[in-house]
């Protein structure tokens, strides 16, 4: 295996266990509020968490990973007070198992998926029905989240199927454990193209947006939030309220998210 090939495998596959282990913080034992959040939220939520600290009474300890991995950890008893998923499916997965407080669930944010390339790439295309993505990828790989579980990967596969190009590129996909890992494969040049959220592209200066996938080519991208059923931290309701505030909304919009909730 080449050094480059090893890098793809290490980031896309080998990092999964480390991500899952890292997402379970020790801070909860110290009575700190713990939030499990989709990896794509990192830059925006870090800023919101800091801005909300005075209103909430504490800063949350936030663990970022794929929504699928986080949901499975909560199911397994991981100590989280709130969960922010990058799709409705993984929130429903937990709510169906009575692991969330249904009355706290809110559709918080929206996003888009885009095709990205390294910043110095000369690739150009128009994303439309039947566009020749396989030719653009060439002998390289298309980086995207695990399309069987990671929301960004699921959205990406749905879009490619809708546009009639999935079958031509399925064998060229390098699956990553979360969308930020897929983004890294592109920014470091390990993959010539990738599918990530528009907000990820906004946060990473090492990539450029080649095109945006049509909104009607995939299910709506919605980030729901809810308090977990086993949450014990008294400040969690205040944190969820602050996430829906005008100041939080401004910070989310700054990173490219669409705010779906009216400001408090």
Task: Look at residue 119 and give its three-state secondary structure.
Answer: coil
Inter-residue contact 188 to 206 (CB < 8 Å): yes
Angle value at C-alpha 248, between 81 and 66, nearest 5 degrees: 50
Inter-residue contact 73 to 199 (CB < 8 Å): no
Inter-residue contact 183 to 116 (CB < 8 Å): yes
Residue 40 assigned to a binding site: yes
Residue 69 assigned to a binding site: no
Inter-residue contact 196 to 179 (CB < 8 Å): yes
Strand partners, 37: 64, 84
Angle value at C-alpha 108, between 62 and 256, nearest 5 degrees: 80
CA distance 97 to 197: 28
Residue 197 assigned to a binding site: yes
Residue 179 assigned to a binding site: yes
CA distance 60 to 53: 8
Pairing state of beta strands 142-145 and 106-110?
unpaired
Q: Which residues are annotated as a binding site?
A: 40, 67, 152, 179, 197
Q: Which residues are annotated as a binding site for molybdate?
A: 40, 67, 152, 179, 197
């Amino acid at each position: 295996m080449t050094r480059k090939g090893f890098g793809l495998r290490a980031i896309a596959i080998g990092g999964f266990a480390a991500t899952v282990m890292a997402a379970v913080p020790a801070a909860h034992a110290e009575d700190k509020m713990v939030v499990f959040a989709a990896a794509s939220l990192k830059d925006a939520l870090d800023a919101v968490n800091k801005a909300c600290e005075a209103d909430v009474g504490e800063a949350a300890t936030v663990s970022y990973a794929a929504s699928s991995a986080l949901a499975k950890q909560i199911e397994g008893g991981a100590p989280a007070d709130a969960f922010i998923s990058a799709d409705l499916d993984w929130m429903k997965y937990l709510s169906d198992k009575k692991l969330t407080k249904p009355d706290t669930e809110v559709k918080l944010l929206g996003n888009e998926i885009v095709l990205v390339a390294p910043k110095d790439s000369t690739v150009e295309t128009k994303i439309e029905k039947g566009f020749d993505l396989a030719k653009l990828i060439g002998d390289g790989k298309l980086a995207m989240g695990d399309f069987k579980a990671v929301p960004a990967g699921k959205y990406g596969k749905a879009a490619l199927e809708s546009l009639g190009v999935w079958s031509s590129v399925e064998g060229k996909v390098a699956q990553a454990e979360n969308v930020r890992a897929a983004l890294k494969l592109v920014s470091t040049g390990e993959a010539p193209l990738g599918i990530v959220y528009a907000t990820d592209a906004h946060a990473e200066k090492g990539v450029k947006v080649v095109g945006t996938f049509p909104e009607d080519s995939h299910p709506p991208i919605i980030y729901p939030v809810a308090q977990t059923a086993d949450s014990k931290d008294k400040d969690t309701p205040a944190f969820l309220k602050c996430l829906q505030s005008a100041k939080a909304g401004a910070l989310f919009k700054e990173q490219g998210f669409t705010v779906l909730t009216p400001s408090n």
